[in-house]
């Protein structure tokens, strides 16, 4: 039986006018979130201070806050959000599973355990090496969950259960490794909770190109993923090469989710929520869902980081924890929908 191409409501193709509206609103939302990220916090600053910190730095306390905290956190939040939003969209398109997410399916946990091994067991501290470990862990986890799901019959529910089980095992292993090395635990405590604070923009010299390559691959695969929604047999009959499509999708997911986890730690549920929101706006076409999910992901991460700064000021809540609280009701809502797991 050929799976239905879609169950979500929405047009097959956006009109030119609606496309323009979606593009304008998404860009405006991203710009607004960036402005909020740069100006709102325990110490509110004005736009003039932000501009002066970039163009006429004088060493004042507020300008130091902007240069050393607000700008890096906002830029890294945008980068991480773009990566996880796009990774979630590609994963849902590849598995034809509306519950697919790099966190739920264990991809982030794979990256985390690899980083834990690098830090706790091998003493690695350089970010390029940590990112290499994270990418390797994400790749192994992605392949592992796909193979486990296929061995269980390949149904969406089996895939999710396999991913949850794998994520639980890997998370437990990460905790055990960290607790065996108290020094490593102190270094990784904020990273494990998904935090943007204390990160330097220099890490983007390594992470930026990896995420950019992942985004390009994801965008190039959108047409194939749309055809794959019709089922493997139909996609093959229409000339789609299933093997290279799946290999490219795994590569994109690994680069995007693995690098984002190396930068900010595991940020759960964003890869689940962003594609759902995008699909509700533009319909099921991956050509529209992938870029819009990336923009939504970036917007949500930056705003989530701002909420974490002010909700219990002067203390902070890491963005990964904020996302967990926000996404839990969203996940319940998805679970209550009719036929929630089949795309």
Please write the tens of the pLDDT for every residue from 206-228.
Answer: 889 999 999 999 999 999 999 98
Is 68 within a domain?
no
Mean pLDDT over the full length of the chain: 83
Is 174 within a domain?
yes
Q: What is the model's pLDDT at position 154? A: 58
Q: How confident is the model at residue 3 (pLDDT cuts 50, 70, 90)?
A: very low
d(CA 48, CA 40): 13
Is 330 within a domain?
yes
Instruction: Give me the percent of the chain exceeding a pLDDT of 90.
Output: 25
CB 2 within 8 A of CB 342: no
CB 323 within 8 A of CB 270: yes
Is 34 within a domain?
no
Mean pLDDT across 163-167: 84
| 100/50: higher pLDDT | 50
Which letter, b or e, does each residue of 217-240 get, where b requires 16 or more Cβ atoms within 10 Å of its Cβ?
Answer: bbbebbebbbbbbbbeeebeeeeb
Q: What is the model's pLDDT at position 9? A: 40
Q: What is the model's pLDDT at position 7? A: 41
Is 253 within a domain?
yes
d(CA 74, CA 7): 35
d(CA 116, CA 183): 12
Q: How confident is the model at residue 38 (pLDDT cuts 50, 70, 90)?
A: very high
CB 90 within 8 A of CB 274: no
Q: Which residue has the tokens 């980081």?
A: 305
Q: How many CA atoms lie within 13 A of 202 on its CB side?
A: 6
Q: What is the model's pLDDT at position 185? A: 67
Domain span at 180 = 78-336
312: helix, strand or coil: coil
Please write the tens of the pLDDT for every residue from 302-335.
Answer: 999 999 998 887 888 888 888 888 777 777 776 6
Q: What is the model's pLDDT at position 28? A: 95
Domain count, the chain: 1
Is 279 within a domain?
yes
The model carries a pTM of 0.86
Largest CA distance in the chain: 68
CA-to-CA dists, residue 45 to 9, 38, 93, 155, 247, angstroms: 42, 8, 41, 51, 46
Q: What is the model's pLDDT at position 6? A: 42
Mean pLDDT across 31-43: 91
Is 16 within a domain?
no
| 155/267: higher pLDDT | 267
Mean pLDDT across 197-210: 87
Is 269 within a domain?
yes
d(CA 114, CA 162): 19
Q: Provide the CATH number for the domain around residue 222.
A: 1.10.3470.10
């Amino acid at each position: 039986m050929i799976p239905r191409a879609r169950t979500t409501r929405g047009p097959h193709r956006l009109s030119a006018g609606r496309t323009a509206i979606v593009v304008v609103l998404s860009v405006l939302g991203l710009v607004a979130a960036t402005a909020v990220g740069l100006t709102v916090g325990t110490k509110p600053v004005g736009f003039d201070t932000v501009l002066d910190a970039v163009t006429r730095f004088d060493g004042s306390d507020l300008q130091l806050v902007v240069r050393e905290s607000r700008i890096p956190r906002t830029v890294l939040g945008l980068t991480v959000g773009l990566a996880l939003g796009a990774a979630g969209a590609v994963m849902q398109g590849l598995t034809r599973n509306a519950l697919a997410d790099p966190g739920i399916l264990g991809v982030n946990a794979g990256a985390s355990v690899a980083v834990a091994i690098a830090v706790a067991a091998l003493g690695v501290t350089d970010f390029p090496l940590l990112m290499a470990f994270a990418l390797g862990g994400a790749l192994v986890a992605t392949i592992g969950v796909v193979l486990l799901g296929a061995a269980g019959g390949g149904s969406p529910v089996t895939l999710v259960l396999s991913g949850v089980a794998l994520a639980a095992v890997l998370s437990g292993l990460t905790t055990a490794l960290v607790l065996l090395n108290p020094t490593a635990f102190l270094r990784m405590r904020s990273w494990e909770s998904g935090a943007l604070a204390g990160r330097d923009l220099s890490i983007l010299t390594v992470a930026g190109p990896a995420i950019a390559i992942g985004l390009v691959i994801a965008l190039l695969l959108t047409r194939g993923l749309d055809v794959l929604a019709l089922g493997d047999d139909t996609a093959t009959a229409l000339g789609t090469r299933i093997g290279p499509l799946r290999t490219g999708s795994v590569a994109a997911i690994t680069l995007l989710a693995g690098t984002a986890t190396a930068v900010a730690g595991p940020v759960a549920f964003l890869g689940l929520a962003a594609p759902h929101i995008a699909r509700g706006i533009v319909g099921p076409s991956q050509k529209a869902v992938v870029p819009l999910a990336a923009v939504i992901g970036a917007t949500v991460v930056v705003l989530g980081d701002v909420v974490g700064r002010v909700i219990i000021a002067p203390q902070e809540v890491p963005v990964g924890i904020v996302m967990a609280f926000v996404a839990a009701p969203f996940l319940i809502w998805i679970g209550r929908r009719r036929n929630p797991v089949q795309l």
